[in-house]
Amino acid sequence: MNLLVTGGAGYIGSHTAIELIMAGHDVVVVDNLSNSTRAAVSAIETVTGRDVTFFEYDIRNDSRLDEVLACRAFDAVLHFAALKAVGESAAQPLRYYANNVAGTATLLDGMNDYGIKTLVFSSSASVYGDPDTMPIGEDSPPDPKSPYARTKLITENLLHDLHDADPDWRISILRYFNAVGAHPSGRIGEDPSGVPNNLLPFVAQVAVGRRNCLNVFGDDYPTPDGTGIRDYLHVVDLARGHVKALDYLAGAGGVSVHNLGTGRGYSVFEVVHAFEAASGRKVPHRVAARRPGDVAVSWADPSKARDELGWTAEYDLERACEDLWRWQLTHPRGFSTRKA
């Protein structure tokens, strides 16, 4: 299939582009590089041995988007392009709504003009908020706790409305849990700008000596060791979930919603110990105050994705830590500092 990947220079989009190409698809990437670099696109080409057409455009720019959509007879779009920092979204809600909601509306409008009506959308487990029961199934009522999470839920609603108005649309909404790790080749991985918000990139930067100490945000949660529990999913497993979702859409119309997670939760301390084991390095850490907006526990019931998409996570946390460490060691400052 001819596929357009928005946000394809980013962390999950770039890993997904690799899996799509390996599955025989032709991939075009559009990304404004607001949270990524062109080096990620080169890395996709290195890993796959295939050229990737890349447009450095913002999806909100409709004339630029028109140029992109006209470049191939696209069969589907995988839409990753979004801003994703939860804390920042509380300080800059307009920016988040404009980019994530209005940006998606512009994209959908352009797709409609070109008769492209198949979409895989990157949603988030954050739409569930803080449910009472675990694991979290797709029928758990949404209760987003941040502007970021609300942009995801609003976009989901927009996609349902679009399908109600035009049943030709085929839409897969994937609610990701916590994406971690890097490609096993060591050539591509997450390259956060500034201080990482997320646990694993921060841990890896402490292990490699770039930062001194990890702040563990709270050890007084109602969990066995007091730290927060999450469902950490290897980014390659997550990427492969998109290949499965596309296959599923080929046979199913409508709007589908699937959790992508492992079905297992790990605490912050368990993650630190797993990374120490994988890297052979100590990860100095201290307990700090809770981070506002964090929930105590979150892990997926991934059985719907297993039953309907034929997808199950294959890699465990240990493997994700090993692959992340390989990437971190060879690229201690991300793509700009590749070591031999």
Instruction: Assign 3-class secondary structure to 99-142.
Output: HHHHHHHHHHHHHHHCCCCEEEEEEEHHHHCCCCCCCECCCCCC
Q: Which is nearer to ligand NAD, 209 or 232 (CB)?
A: 232
Site map 193..222 versus ligand NAD, x via CB under 6 A: ------------------------------
Span from 77-85, 251-259, 271-279, 291-299 in contact with ligand NAD (CB under 6 A):
77-85
> Residues 201 to 220: which contact ligand UFG by CB under 6 A?
202, 214-217
Q: Note whether 198 and 267 are within 8 A (CB).
A: no
Q: How far is CA 329 from the centre of its chain?
A: 22
Cβ 153 to ligand NAD shortest distance, Å: 12
Three-class secondary structure of residue 38 per DSSP: helix
Cβ 223 to ligand NAD shortest distance, Å: 20
Length of the chain, in residues = 340
Site map 81..110 versus ligand NAD, x via CB under 6 A: xxxx--------------x---x-------
| 49-54: Cβ within 8 A, 24+ apart | 50/21, 52/8, 52/17, 52/21, 52/27, 52/28, 53/27, 53/28, 53/29, 54/8, 54/9, 54/28, 54/29, 54/30
Tokens of 171: 């839409």
Q: What angle do CA 275, 281, 287 make, to 5 degrees?
A: 65
Cβ 101 to ligand NAD shortest distance, Å: 11
Binding partner at 230 among ligand NAD, ligand UFG, none, C-beta below 5 to 8 Å by kind:
ligand UFG
Q: Note whether 326 and 319 are within 8 A (CB).
A: no
Span from 2-10, 43-51, 208-216, 281-289 in contact with ligand NAD (CB under 6 A):
2-10
Binding partner at 242 among ligand NAD, ligand UFG, none, C-beta below 5 to 8 Å by kind:
none
Cβ 340 to ligand NAD shortest distance, Å: 26
| 50-53: Cβ within 8 A, 24+ apart | 50/21, 52/8, 52/17, 52/21, 52/27, 52/28, 53/27, 53/28, 53/29
Query: Does the footprint of ligand NAD cover residue 7 (CB under 6 A)?
Result: yes
Tell which one of 210, 282, 291, 333 touches ligand UFG (CB under 6 A).
Answer: 291
Q: How many residues bind ligand NAD (CB under 6 A)?
A: 27
Q: Which is nearer to ligand UFG, 111 or 271 (CB)?
A: 271
Site map 76..115 versus ligand UFG, x via CB under 6 A: --------x-x-----------------------------
Residues 6+ apart with CB under 8 A from 129: 142, 143, 144, 145, 149, 295
Cβ 133 to ligand UFG shortest distance, Å: 16
Q: Give the residues lining the site for ligand NAD (CB under 6 A).
A: 7, 9-13, 31-36, 58-60, 80-84, 99, 103, 122, 124, 176, 178-179
